[in-house]
Amino acid sequence: MSEHFPHTDAATFDGQHICFITNLYPPETIGGAETSVRTVAEALVERDYEVSVITTATSDDARAGDGSFCERQNGVSVHRFTPWNLYTPFEYREQPGWKKPLMHLIDLWNPQAGRTVDRLLGTLAPDIIHVHNFGGLSPAVFRAAAGHAPVVQTLHDYRLLHIDPGMFVAGAQRELGGLMRPFRAYNRRTVEPYLDRVLAPSQFMIDRHERAGFFEDTPTAVLRLGVSRDDRATPGAVADTPRILFVGQLARPKGVDVLLNGLAHLDSDIRVDIVGRGEAREQLEVQAAGDDRVTFHGFVSEADLAAFYREATVTVVPSRWNDNSPMVIYESLARATPVVGSDMGGIPELIDTPDDDAPTTGRVVPSEDPVALATAIESVCQTAPHVESQAAYARADDYTLSTHLDRLLAHYAACFDEPRVGVPDTADGRSERTVPQNGSPASIR
């Protein structure tokens, strides 16, 4: 049922209060999803919407154990609570392996999280509820949300399909298999009935879920992420010494080691900037030892990151896992920097190659192929880097934050225009719901 831009011209969202439910919200961040949610929330405030966020607090945060504490961040009302579990989403990296299976078991259905979200929504009374990542909150939050307003979900990962949300286990990308079939069936019963619309920034993500049997009766649509184009970027300006940039977590799924292996096939007259942090940094520094072309910068400020993008000749996204729709690509294009990416997940959807009809904004190469990666980097740096820089900046015009917001609000409006299958309408046009709010679903009692 997927469409790219349904109702963007015809529908108008008449609501005023939008509530995001997300397992993490800045300053607690792990990946790009949390930053994207904050960017959209604050941009909606600038458009005069009331925006609330329900999210988690760390277990030692005395301010927010039950959600009663509310803080304001740039106009956004942020409500934090600590779910009853062995640890919170932000604390997972510090946990021993024996705790994680127990955490996942509790996270199948957390009644305390459902009750807390239900109580907060009863007080907030939003017009639309938008659920993002929900690991650590459990599917209970969907049923709680559905009793208050139409529910939109954005798919940032594969949590509905696999107990590992990245489907990256033991160092390798996993495909759909029989072992997780009961888990997927459980999520179809406990999540999908409460959704009015499902969004994802890549068609790959939607296709993967639909192949697993999800969303047969739920509208789905691709909604690309949005970033503001950098007015300080200089399209067409290219450094004399090619600069290659990687931005992201230093972890095996991101494929930084593939990039480092590819450097042996590149000219010595280059610079390689690696920006980010992660558990693989020490190993990667050992791999790059003796190559003075490579600099590890660790975590940098947003201002410094923007400067790295502007100064780069090409940004490299060498993922070996099915990346959904990397924010790095959007950010790079917005700074007039072309991208070389692997053929994993939704990455190819964002890059126009020389084989496409559109102006070239980069290259797509097979994953885990350092020679192909090096060849593509060399092609960008030596063919017409100034032309591809201009094309990248022009392409970013399709991914602006303003465009994203316009389409997002249209999707919100469509929730009121399209009653759910098999659910009668009330006189005011909203879907009638009879949603029990207490207890676990019958399938797991």
Kindly report whether the peptide bond that precedes residue 441 is cis, defined as omega within 30 degrees of 0: no
Report yes or no on whether pTM surpasses 0.85.
yes
| 137, 424, 431, 432 from 427: Cα distances, Å | 33, 10, 9, 9
The structure tokens 């039950």 sit at 66
Show the CA angle centred on residue 379, arms to residues 373 and 381, nearest 5°.
105
Q: What is the three-state SS of 149-173? A: CCEEEECCCCCCCCCCCCCEECCEE
Q: What angle do CA 23, 173, 158 make, to 5 degrees?
A: 30
Q: Output b/e per residue, 168-205; b: 16+ Cβ within 10 A.
A: beeeebbebeeebeebbebbbebbbbbbbbbbbbbbbb
If you ran DSSP here, which 8-state letter would residue 253 be given?
G
Q: Element (H or E) spanning 251, and its range?
A: none
Show the domains of the chain with their CATH numbers: 2-226+401-430 (3.40.50.2000), 243-398 (3.40.50.2000)
Single-letter amino acid, residue 299 = F
For residue 347, the SS3 value is helix
> pLDDT by residue for the chain (445 residues), tens digit each?
455 445 445 467 888 999 999 999 988 877 778 989 999 999 999 999 999 999 998 766 655 556 667 899 999 999 999 888 877 777 766 777 777 778 888 889 999 999 999 999 999 999 999 999 999 999 999 999 999 999 999 999 999 999 988 998 888 888 888 899 999 999 999 999 999 999 999 999 999 999 999 999 999 999 999 999 999 999 999 889 999 999 999 999 999 999 999 999 998 899 999 999 999 999 999 999 999 999 999 999 999 999 999 999 999 999 999 999 999 999 999 999 999 999 999 999 999 999 999 999 999 999 999 999 999 999 999 999 999 999 999 999 999 999 999 999 999 999 987 665 434 344 344 444 445 444 555 433 3
d(CA 202, CA 365): 18
Quote the Cα angle for 202-208-210, to 5°.
105
